[in-house]
Amino acid sequence: MTFLHRHRWATPYLLLLPGMAFLAVFFLVPTYYLANTSLQSGDLFSGYVFSWAWENYTDAVTRYQAQFLRSLQYAGLATLLAFLISYPLVYWIAFRGGRWKNLLLLFIIAPFFVTYLIRTLAWQTLLGDEGFVVQTLQTLHLLAEDGRLLATSTAVVAGITYNFLPFMALPIYVSLEQIDQRLIEAAEDLYASRVMAFLRVTFPLSLPGVFAGTLLTFIPAAGDFINAQLLGTPHQSMIGNVIQSKFKVIADYPEAAALSFVLMSAILVVVLVYARVLGSERLTG
Amino acid sequence: MTTAAERLPARRTSGLLVRALRFVRHHLLTVYAMLAFAYLLLPIAVVIVFSFNNPAGKFNIVWQGFTFDNWLHPFNSPDVQQAVTVSVQIAALSSVIATALGTFIALALVRYRFRGNGATNLLIFLPMATPEIVLGASLLTLFLNNPLGVLPPLGFGTVLIAHIMFCISYVVVTVKARLVGFDRHLEEAAMDLGANEVTTFLRVTLPLIAPAILAGALLSFALSVDDFVITYLNSGSVVTFPLYVWGAARTEISPAINVIGSAIFFIAIAIMLVNVLWQWRRQPKGAV
């Protein structure tokens, strides 16, 4: 303790040390090894050695272009759907929820309490050929007699939307909740219609939440492979499916590592463009 | 005068119309919200309902008949029991360790001004902004290369390390959020009354921030029990509950999976409900 008294400046660093050291060793160092592995060549039996094998990257981009594009498309679509579903929902909770707000929020995060894989399997049951969703759509002739939902892009996007929806809903809720009601009243006092007041006051004020929610949904969605695996077919396979099978099934570590880096960069580019479009300096700064 | 008298009923009907439209719109939003809730809760209902199913074949997908058997014997197969045990062990260990490490970081970030603040925040944020598959992949390359030869072989140890790693950031964020409103005068008062730093921390700070720490620990536990992607890549031959479900999903989906899934759900909901009720009681009456 005398040491602490004499060196008070050291206290925050002592508090930080164990946790940050752990993150450095098991988050930063692995990133180095991922980069290192992505430039290795060889095969599983003779071993992989570092050899500046940039062809892993050209291979990754050319051979798996379709899966990359599909990942970004599915993730983008799911993010949009999650936004359209959750915005009105959390708006309703924030402004009409009253005393029940916390309880209603519990409903939104309830899906998180069911193991990820199990709730995706539940979608398998729901969308299955004998399930009532397909039967109903067929009765209404919205789906052909031999039409399917399971094993289609629709099912995969629906699954991704469902699984990441709370990530979209919660940040939007937080930013709606923080809005000073008097601002909206002021807009209405100044003869803005309710629609105008929403468009010019409420919605712009909720944009930080929309921004955060979009990123929190899009990033995990772009890397996901469980929905494509359980609800789709190889025709719906996303880049995550390729990466996981290269690591776990065929043990082509260098290619898998290169794919992971390309995925990270692709996500980063999309996020930066999106941030620029939305003017995030204003939002987050 | 007559024109004014003529206008009045017209205005009244348009007022009625506006009110009717507003009524519909309010309810439109409510209806939309109800549908959205249904969408959110429907798969959960499926999980729970099918935990009472008495399936004919190996796949618990089509409803056959009601039974309590699944709930009476959830651990029919020793593999399930083993997987659940491993999951709980890893979740308990990783949440305790991640909570300790994360709480210290949160304390440093909220309570002290120091150099490297920005870098610290960035290093906390990055793991949360990285897709799980990339997190898992980079850890796997570290374990495969095993520099210095000190890391454990793929298995329980590597999964534990991975879970601690991705939980730390969430603990920091959770604890930090609750620490911001912390009244430092209470600590100063304790010091003025002659308590040293350790006593002050143990007798004043710790009891005050205990709810924040508990929230961080619960979140870590939940994240750990639920994790699939990172675990899958770094598991070697150890099988956690989500990994068991993954393996089983190809050959059979037994109601036992639904029973355990539902049980986890009910436990989590119970904990959250206690929390919500507790917050309610602390709120002054009449406050919304």
Q: What is the pLDDT, as a whole number, of residue A129?
A: 78
* Disruptive mutation site among A14, A90, A121, A165 for chain B (greatest number of B CBs within 10 Å): A121
Q: What is the dihedral of CA A174, A180, A185, A191, to 10 degrees?
A: -80
Question: Would you say residue B257 has pLDDT above 70?
Answer: yes
- CA–CA distance, B154 with B71 (Å, rounded to integer): 34
Task: Please say whether the structural domain B78-253 has been given the CATH code 3.40.50.620.
Answer: no
- CA–CA distance, B275 with A109 (Å, rounded to integer): 14
Name every residue whose Cβ is closer than 8 Å to that of residue B41 and which is 6 or more positions away in sequence.
Answer: A107, A110
Q: What is the pLDDT, as a whole number, of residue A282?
A: 54
Read off the pLDDT band of B169 (50, 70, 90). Answer: very high
Note the pLDDT tens digit of each residue in A92-145: 999 988 888 888 888 898 888 899 999 999 998 888 877 778 878 888 877 777
Task: Please tell me the distance in Å from B8's CA to the nearest CA on chain A.
Answer: 21
Nearest by CB to residue A121, choosing from B123, B142, B253, is B253
Q: Is B53 helix (H, G, I), strand (E, B) or coil?
A: strand
Contact flag B44-A119 (C-beta cutoff 8 Å):
yes
Q: What is the pLDDT, as a whole number, of residue B287?
A: 44
Q: What is the pLDDT, as a whole number, of residue A285?
A: 40
Q: What is the pLDDT, as a whole number, of residue A24?
A: 93
Mean of pLDDT values over B233-239: 92
- CA–CA distance, A88 with A210 (Å, rounded to integer): 12
Q: Specify the higher pLDDT residue, B166 or B186.
A: B166
Q: Is B191 helix (H, G, I), strand (E, B) or coil?
A: helix
Give chain B positions within 8 Å (CB) of A274.
none
Nearest by CB to residue A92, choosing from B29, B102, B108, is B29
Partner A contacted by B145 (CB < 8 A): yes
CB B43 within 8 A of CB A123: yes
Question: Would you say residue B286 has pLDDT above 80?
Answer: no
Nearest by CB to residue B242, choosing from A101, A116, A257, is A116
Q: Is B213 helix (H, G, I), strand (E, B) or coil?
A: helix
Mean of pLDDT values over A204-221: 92
Give B196's DSSP letter.
Answer: -
Task: Please tell me the distance in Å from B153's CA to the nearest CA on chain A.
Answer: 15
Read off the pLDDT band of A173 (50, 70, 90). Answer: very high
Q: What is the pLDDT, as a whole number, of residue A60?
A: 87
Give the range among A240-254, B237-251, B265-279 with minimum mean pLDDT.
B265-279
Q: Is A50 helix (H, G, I), strand (E, B) or coil?
A: strand
Question: Would you say residue B7 has pLDDT above 60?
Answer: no
- CA–CA distance, B240 with B249 (Å, rounded to integer): 14
Nearest by CB to residue A223, choosing from B131, B138, B249, is B131
Task: Name the CATH topology of A68-284.
Answer: MetI-like fold (1.10.3720)
Mean of pLDDT values over B107-118: 86
Q: What is the pLDDT, as a whole number, of residue B2?
A: 46
Q: What is the pLDDT, as a whole number, of residue A254?
A: 92
A–B CB contacts, 8 A cutoff, strictly below: 234
Q: Where are the domains of chain A?
A: 68-284
Question: Would you say residue A174 has pLDDT above 80?
Answer: yes
- CA–CA distance, A149 with A131 (Å, rounded to integer): 10
**Tokens 């939104």 sit on residue:** A108
Give the range among A159-163, B131-135, B145-149, B277-281 with minimum mean pLDDT.
B277-281
Give chain A positions within 8 Å (CB) of B127.
23, 27
* Closest to B52 measured CA to CA, from B77, B71, B76: B71
Give the range among A208-212, A237-241, B194-198 with minimum mean pLDDT.
B194-198
CB A229 within 8 A of CB A159: no
Contact flag A244-B257 (C-beta cutoff 8 Å):
no
Q: What is the pLDDT, as a whole number, of residue A77?
A: 97
Question: Would you say residue A147 has pLDDT above 70?
Answer: yes
Contact flag B130-A219 (C-beta cutoff 8 Å):
yes
In B105-148, at which residue ranges do the beta strands (DSSP E only) sit?
Answer: none
Give chain A positions within 8 Å (CB) of B145.
33, 36-37
Note the pLDDT tens digit of each residue in A32-71: 999 999 998 888 777 888 888 898 899 888 999 999 999 9
Q: What is the pLDDT, as a whole number, of residue A102?
A: 83
Read off the pLDDT band of B288 (50, 70, 90). Answer: very low
Mean of pLDDT values over A268-280: 81
Rg (C-alpha) for chain B, rounded Å, is: 27
Nearest by CB to residue B137, choosing from A34, A89, A118, is A34
Percent of chain A with pLDDT over 70: 95
Q: What is the pLDDT, as a whole number, of residue B171?
A: 94
Q: Tokens for B151, please give them.
A: 């890391």
Give alpha helix (H) positions in A41-191: 55-63, 65-96, 101-109, 116-127, 132-139, 153-177, 181-189
- CA–CA distance, B163 with A262 (Å, rounded to integer): 24
Mean of pLDDT values over B93-113: 92
Give the range among A192-201, A264-273, B181-190 with minimum mean pLDDT.
B181-190
Note the pLDDT tens digit of each residue in B34-50: 999 999 999 999 999 88
The most confident of B160-174, B210-224, B239-253, by mean pLDDT: B160-174
Mean of pLDDT values over A264-268: 89
CB B167 within 8 A of CB B102: yes
Read off the pLDDT band of A196 (50, 70, 90). Answer: confident
**Tokens 């060889």 sit on residue:** A42
* Disruptive mutation site among A114, A126, A150, A202 for chain B (greatest number of B CBs within 10 Å): A114
Backbone dihedral angles phi then psi of residue B163, each to the nearest 5 degrees = -65, -40
Q: Tokens for B116, please give them.
A: 């490297």
- CA–CA distance, B64 with B48 (Å, rounded to integer): 15
CB A143 within 8 A of CB A137: yes
Q: Tokens for A188, please give them.
A: 């209405």
Q: Specify the higher pLDDT residue, B93 or B144.
A: B93
Considering only alpha carbons, which residue of chain A is nearest residue B22? A194
Contact flag A112-B37 (C-beta cutoff 8 Å):
no
Interface predicted TM-score (ipTM) over 0.95: no
Task: Please tell me the distance in Å from B215's CA to the nearest CA on chain A.
Answer: 15
Contact flag B142-A30 (C-beta cutoff 8 Å):
yes
Q: Round the average pLDDT of chain A to a whole number and report it.
A: 87
Note the pLDDT tens digit of each residue in A215-251: 999 999 999 999 999 999 888 899 999 999 999 888 8
CB B39 within 8 A of CB A133: no
Partner A contacted by B125 (CB < 8 A): no
Give chain A positions within 8 Å (CB) of B273.
106
Stated as kind and residue range, the H or E segment containing A23 is helix A10-23
